Structure 1
Amino acid sequence: MTAVTYEVCLAKCGSSQEPFSWSTFSQEFSAWLLPYLALISQLPFGARHRPENLMSALLTVGSPVLAGYSMFLTLLNARWVSQSFESISYPNSNSAVKVLSSLQQVPLRVTSEDCLLPSLVILPENDSFWSDFADFLDYTHTWSISAAMSILWVVVAYIFTVADSLSDVSANINSNGQGVGSIWLWLLPIVIGWLQLSPKCDYGRLQGAFHRANGMAYVASHQGPPVKASVVSDICAISIDGIDVSSPDEKYTPPVFNYARALSWAQAAEETLNIFRRASINAKLHKPVNPTEDWRIAGRGDLIHPDNRSGSPDDVKEYCRQPYYAVRSRWASGIFLRMFLSSLLPLALQWGTTGAAILAIWFTPTTKLGCRSLSYLIYGALSTIVWMLLVASSILGHYSIAYRPREARYHVPVAAQTARTLSTVLRWIGKTLAIINAIGLVASSVFQFSNLYDRCYCNGSVIGRGASAYILLDPSAFPYFGQMRGSWLGALALASGCAVGFIGFINLFSDSVST
């Protein structure tokens, strides 16, 4: 006898699982799952408090789509600001690109009040601000021996275990880790991608860089030369605003939270860009900041003579004033296109690895949808739902914050209040689902190795087969045994191809980009 029906299996064996086998569990767990769990430690953290770092790990495992989306959006935003500054010929523009690109891991805010931001761009006294600020932020979270060894461990373990499982297909067929190896493979390109981008996410270093740089900032004065901005006001032209944020996630520096601050960052970056652009246009027309002065030719080593960049606060503001036809929007140029493009590859990575895991299990006797493949399908679906909820939350939150009054007497429109409430609800639902999904993925992998799925219901694929479910007693007697091996190889190719393709695109677009 090579197979029995589901009813016969229940009658003879009952509905409980097969006995737990420590030798099988320890071997499969250490080979297929443990390397990935260790690799999680190589994700970029750097938050101020440990719970925020834990939450970033749970969000990454609970929604690889969200992690990949935040990564690609960070990359595309950095390329956008870099390319936008290419047409600008004004002192400090190169340093400004480095500063803005490096500050995507904080709730970046800029203000033109009291002539702060225009003075920061125009005045020659602020040249050291930009260059030194860029230097303060010039540290890397990149390749290390521990990171390289963790990645190498995953790759070597994956190759060896795949080769071993293909050499003896019938051994431990129901607790085999082919599906587990594929469902977790997304973690490898995510870790490598962040190591390539090297995000500036250490809260202590970022805060220290801000304090040192803002202490060097000058602002135009009505009487005499420019004065230190710290003397005029406690407000800074560029700051980490942890109060006026659309959601608490904006304040957390681990880069997986970049989804929450991408809209506000892009708005701040574009406001800075527009001031540089206007100053560059006026400089090309040989217009000095002080309209009563004549344009002076720059000496050797100067792009623009310092005297052409000095004036009163009114002169500085007028010099940077945008044309009357320029429309200021809360949505930065091209941000929604970048958000759309940032979604494509993470979705492909998620469903490439998830689809590979389902494929490997689907054609393993008994074929069709069963407990194992259903758990993978649920994981991929929840990961996608979490991404959708949190991105929608960020859009609604950014929309609502534009109407937040600075004084109590101002009325907040009903639409903004509704958007704010809905943003909070969606964020909590999304993060709760991410936590459940992360725990569920680990639990499902452990269940497979501990024989919890080795019961009549799961081994018979009752979910997919229904009344025609059967349990195969001798896997080698399966008529499509060769097809099963082919499906395992196909799953391996699909998961590996998606992972390699993701890494390839990261390297393709990350040339000369600092984040």
Structure 2
Amino acid sequence: MLFTSRALAGGVNFTSCLANVQNFYNDTSNQKYANYSQLNNSLLDNNGFPVAFADIFTSTAITYTVCTNWCGSGDESFEWTNFSQQFSAWLLPYLALLSQLPFGARYRSDNLMSAVLTAGSPTLAGYTLFCTMLNTRWISQSFESVRKFPNTAQAARVLSNLQQVPLRVNPHSAMLSSLVVLPENDQWWSEFSESLNYKNTWSISAAVSIAWVIVAYALTVADSLANVNDNIDSVGQSIGTAFLWLIPVVIGWQQLSPKCDFDRLSRAFDHSEAKAYIATHHGSVKVGELTEERAISIGPEAMEDVMSPDEDATPPIFNYSRVFGWSRSAEEVLRAFQYASKRAFVHKPVDPEREWEVGDGESIHPGNRHGAPYDVEMYCGRMRFEPSSWGSGVWGRIVFASVAGLMLQWGTTGGAVMMVWFTPTTKLGCRSFSYLIYGALSTIIWMLMLASSIAAHHASSFHWNEHKRYRDAAFHTWKTVADVLRWSGKALAVLNSLILCAIPILQFSNVFNNCYCNSSVMGRGPDRAYNVINLTDTSETQILWIVALVVASLCSIAFVAIFNLLTDTLAFNRDS
């Protein structure tokens, strides 16, 4: 063997290794080894081309084989100063921003899993955020067409704010129709809507955290671009870019202000339910005097038909599991209002034997809104329509939200991959491969959780069927499929969260700074791999870093811009 291993104690020093190789060839006593053939396999420039023998000391790179023989297979030594500076500049602001995500679950384990799912799958986080916004937009705009009927604005707000809990509508009695029609229930809608109208948007801590991250990122980017050669193999440029998805997600949830405080939701629901009325043959009476059933159920009251425990977890990342159930229930309420509004528009009272009474101004006279249970049901069309088992338009909203989540994930992760891919030595290496693994697992987690929600809702359709005697097998099959997919997704989310935490630690502590990783052996193969030790021309690297930064930033900005464009059109916002 031409060379012998000369790994330095306490860690590899690649600068010394390069100097040793150069001196070896320059030593006259070793001239018999220093022929062109051997030189072509040893000393190279930044682009991997061999240097002339007369220009030995202008070489800036060595082949992977020479690197392992002269430098060893170990890593550069850990430097606490570099680690602490990089960690505090690139990663610490994002860790602080994680605390601004919405939580509010009954159990701490659900709050913890909410953070794990968000960090483990930005795709799922972006998908859930957009899906929640699109659901709100859909229900708000749908109620716009019936806004002249009493309580429609309140109903839109109530349904929108109940996306963080399992929502079920009682299909077997006049309860929902009574809730829509009876004037005694105006107070129920008003108080329940008001109790859910609290806002957590743009708290000072959230605004400061977001501003801190943006300013810190801008300053550290500017500094790294001005000093590309400083710790180029452990610089956190790619780390900051990979975490950019967190800013749009936090901004989005701050704007939507999801109602995910379980205790507060439960108190609001219990307080309002005591004032709900139902139509009987003896007039309107309080529902609580006749039965413990309710027209609309949330939380534990709705858990009998819940196929996934995630539906009962209020952090909004779990909205992925409620989208189908919520859409079906919201559509049932919407249809009842639409049928009632059409009849009121042509001046048909609930009781067909009564004449229409003219109210004050545009309001509907209370006398037009009373009737027997059957009349109330017919007035809301409850006998005439069967809501879609999946919910109208839900698949379109899911596709839109999925594209948004994937754009956010791969826009930021792709930017991080691009930065390290085109940093000499170029092509696939340990750093770029770790980001690709993170992005791929994030996408797989989103696919598993979405598939789980589909399977769970399909199982619920068997569960609700009256002929369970011969459909039990199908129900249990789909329920098992949903459980396995959900458990698999959560297990991968835990793994991917650890990967996300491990990447910056490994990078900042120089664990990735070894011959194998620095030579991009994964992308080039051991025979063509080489390690750039001294980067001479940084202009191309700077340009590529800027391009990657622009790509990631534009994807994040586009996510926020589209989100704001659609939320700006939400109906009833002016009435909030």
TM-score (norm 2): 0.86
1:245 aligned partner: 306
1:509 aligned partner: 566
The gaps in structure 1 that reach 5 residues or longer are: none
The amino acid of 1:265's aligned partner reads W
- DSSP 3-state at the match of 1:239: strand
The Cα of 1:415 is off from its aligned counterpart by: 3.5
**Partners of 2:267 and 2:469 in 1: CA distance:** 35
46, 71, 75: which one aligns with 1:13? 71
1:79 aligned partner: 137
**Partners of 2:140 and 2:375 in 1: CA distance:** 28
The Cα of 1:111 is off from its aligned counterpart by: 0.9
| Match status 1:308 vs 2:375 | no
1:472 aligned partner: 532
2:9 aligned partner: none
Q: Which structure's relative contact order is higher, taking Cα pairs within 8 Å and 6+ residues apart? A: 1
The gaps in structure 2 that reach 5 residues or longer are: 1-58
The superposition leaves residues 98-148 of structure 1 with CA deviations (integer Å, 9 ceiling, x where unpaired) of: 111111111011113331111100100000111111100011121111111
**Partners of 1:191 and 1:405 in 2: CA distance:** 37
| Match status 1:57 vs 2:115 | yes
- DSSP 3-state at the match of 1:471: strand
2:124 aligned partner: 66
| Match status 1:295 vs 2:353 | no
**Partners of 1:24 and 1:428 in 2: CA distance:** 39
The superposition leaves residues 349-370 of structure 1 with CA deviations (integer Å, 9 ceiling, x where unpaired) of: 1111111101110111111100
**Partners of 1:373 and 1:344 in 2: CA distance:** 23
The amino acid of 1:370's aligned partner reads G
Verify the 8 A CA contact 1:220 1:312 in the aligned structure 2.
yes
The amino acid of 1:216's aligned partner reads K
What are the residue-to-residue correspondences of 1:140-179 with 2, within 5 Å? 140-179=199-238
The Cα of 1:13 is off from its aligned counterpart by: 2.1
| Match status 1:399 vs 2:462 | no
Verify the 8 A CA contact 1:112 1:118 in the aligned structure 2.
no
- DSSP 3-state at the match of 1:400: helix
**Partners of 1:307 and 1:350 in 2: CA distance:** 56
Verify the 8 A CA contact 1:370 1:463 in the aligned structure 2.
yes
The superposition leaves residues 303-323 of structure 1 with CA deviations (integer Å, 9 ceiling, x where unpaired) of: 211111111212211222357
- DSSP 3-state at the match of 2:135: helix
- DSSP 3-state at the match of 1:114: coil
The Cα of 1:411 is off from its aligned counterpart by: 3.6
1:108 aligned partner: 167
The Cα of 1:512 is off from its aligned counterpart by: 5.8
**Partners of 2:393 and 2:564 in 1: CA distance:** 22
**Partners of 1:231 and 1:505 in 2: CA distance:** 48
What are the residue-to-residue correspondences of 1:94-493 with 2, within 5 Å? 94-223=153-282, 225-240=283-298, 241-300=302-361, 303-322=363-382, 324=384, 326-404=385-463, 410-466=469-525, 467-476=527-536, 481-493=538-550
The Cα of 1:63 is off from its aligned counterpart by: 0.6
The amino acid of 2:342's aligned partner reads I
The amino acid of 1:272's aligned partner reads V
**Partners of 2:190 and 2:265 in 1: CA distance:** 16
The Cα of 1:335 is off from its aligned counterpart by: 0.6
What is the Cα-based RMSD across aligned positions, in Å? 1.6
The amino acid of 1:459's aligned partner reads N
The amino acid of 2:448's aligned partner reads L
**Partners of 1:321 and 1:163 in 2: CA distance:** 63
- DSSP 3-state at the match of 2:229: coil
Percent of aligned pairs sharing the same letter:
53
The amino acid of 1:320's aligned partner reads C
**Partners of 1:417 and 1:204 in 2: CA distance:** 32
Verify the 8 A CA contact 2:445 2:492 in the aligned structure 1.
yes
Q: How many residues align?
A: 509
Residues 417-426 or 154-163, more deviating = 417-426
- Cα 1:372–1:409 change in 2 (3 A) is closer
**Partners of 1:439 and 1:243 in 2: CA distance:** 35
TM-score (norm 1): 0.96
Verify the 8 A CA contact 1:363 1:483 in the aligned structure 2.
no
1:33 aligned partner: 91
The amino acid of 2:330's aligned partner reads A
The amino acid of 2:143's aligned partner reads F
**Partners of 2:200 and 2:569 in 1: CA distance:** 16
